């Protein structure tokens, strides 16, 4: 018997024993607690609109992979636009992209620790209000872009 045949039969046995994907939900995500994934802050809503984050993939990570997204509730309900908010938004964006690609498969993400980025002694900059850098005259343009993007079409 050739080495390749032995290797192929061994891999076939492993593949047959591997768990298959299930379509069962493991958890129910209450989108109401997350303001239906609509940010209370206009600037964060604008970033969502122009970057088109796949929040449905983010919700599916919670439902199918046990990802604890509870730490992000305040991001959607508070009207803060600071460095901490941007860091949380970046985590959501990364997880959404990876989840949309199917990279997590059947992995249990329940033990994944999110929002543990600590600025240490310079932690005061985390609360810096970034909205103070945005020209208030741009508010109507920002609102127009937000209204052009139907967030409800993103979330099913």
List, for residues 37-92, the tens digit of each pLDDT value: 889 999 999 999 999 888 899 999 999 999 999 889 989 999 989 888 998 999 99
How crowded is the C-beta side of 73, counted as CA atoms within 13 Å? Answer: 8
pLDDT grade for 17, boundaries at 50, 70 and 90: very low
State whether residue 3 is helix, strand or coil: helix
DSSP character for 63? H
Helical axes 55-65 vs 83-101, angle rounded to 10°? 70
| Count of domains observed in the chain | 1
Residue 3 located in a structural domain: no
Alpha-carbon distance 26 to 60, whole Å? Answer: 10
Is 6 within a domain?
no
Count of alpha carbons within 13 angstroms of residue 139, beta-carbon side = 7
List the domain range (segments joined by +) for residue 138: 26-154
Q: 10 lies in a domain?
A: no
Q: Quote the pTM value.
A: 0.71
69 lies in a domain? Answer: yes
Structural domain contains residue 109: yes
Q: Does some domain include residue 16?
A: no
Q: Is residue 18 part of a domain?
A: no
**14 within some domain:** no
% of the chain with per-residue pLDDT over 70: 72
- Read off the tokens for 103: 């990279």
């Amino acid at each position: 018997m050739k080495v390749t045949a032995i290797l192929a039969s061994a891999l076939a046995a492993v593949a047959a024993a591997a768990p298959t994907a299930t379509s069962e939900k493991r958890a129910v995500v209450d989108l109401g607690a997350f303001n239906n994934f609509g940010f209370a802050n206009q600037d964060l809503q604008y970033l969502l609109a122009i970057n088109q984050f796949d929040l449905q993939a983010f919700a599916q990570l919670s439902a199918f992979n046990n990802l604890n997204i509870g730490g992000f509730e305040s991001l959607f309900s508070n009207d803060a636009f600071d460095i901490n908010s941007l860091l949380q938004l970046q985590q959501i964006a990364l997880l959404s992209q990876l989840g949309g690609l199917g990279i997590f498969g059947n992995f249990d993400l329940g033990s994944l620790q999110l929002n543990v980025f600590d600025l240490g002694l310079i932690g005061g900059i985390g609360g810096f209000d970034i909205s103070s850098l945005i020209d208030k005259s741009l508010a109507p343009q920002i609102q127009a872009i937000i209204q052009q993007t139907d967030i409800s079409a993103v979330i099913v």
